[in-house]
Copies of this chain bind each other. A is one copy, B any other.
Amino acid sequence: MSPSPNDLTPVAIPEPTLKRLPYYYKFIQGQREARREFVSCTTLAEALGLNAIQVRKDLQATGAVGRPKVGYHVEATLDAIEECMGYHNTQDIFLVGAGHLGQALLAYPGFSEFGFNVVAAFDSDPAKVGTEFAGKPILEASRLSDLVRRMHIQIAILAVPATAAQTVTDTLVQAGIRAIWNFTPTRLAVPKEVLVQDENLLASLSVLSKQLENSRVKSHKESTHGKPEEL
């Protein structure tokens, strides 16, 4: 069951790796601007607060190759990451829900650098419909389905109130959406071929708060009881 040598199926890259690649990309871009030709895992790891071995494995996953004692060629590695992450091929995306969060996303300048193009936003508020925000038109929500279909939009950003989340999702799915970036605190029910990436802000904040509490207890135990620093 080993992959045949010329099996072109991209080996699935672990999600944690995918999330780190943009950091490497950004840092290596900085190195390019500093006119460095090579960059080593050690340097990357130190700068980003990561483990050097992990960095090496991550870069390996992109297909980048390095040279012992020298490191990775800056240009070649940037290319490898771009190629791997698909920063080249521009994707058109729809934003659904032009509330505060939606507007913040519309205004976000960074998308284009990574090959994303938010072409339009949709909202049900008549006061917003017909206007523009950050140069993007805000369209009537009822047109969403039709436009997803006709423009073959594959990715949608869901930034509507939680109460509307599933309804809008159903619309999107029926219109043929392939992936949803979900900013609502709702678990969406979708057919298994539709991808959902949850961005649950409250959950993240809760995690942070809980970890903080843990660390507080731990350090309290360490510092108070004197020696038994653990167990």
Contact = CB atoms under 8 A, between A and B. Distances in A.
B179 A208 contact: yes
A201 B198 CA distance: 11
A128 interface: no
Contact of A15 (B154, B179, B201, B207): B207
A224 interface: no
A20 to B, nearest CB: 8
A181 interface: yes
Interface in A183-227: 185-189, 193, 195, 197, 199-219, 221
B197 A116 contact: no
16 contacts: A18-B207, A22-B185, A22-B203, A22-B206, A85-B209, A100-B103, A104-B104, A108-B201, A152-B230, A155-B212, A178-B212, A179-B208, A179-B211, A195-B211, A195-B212, A195-B215
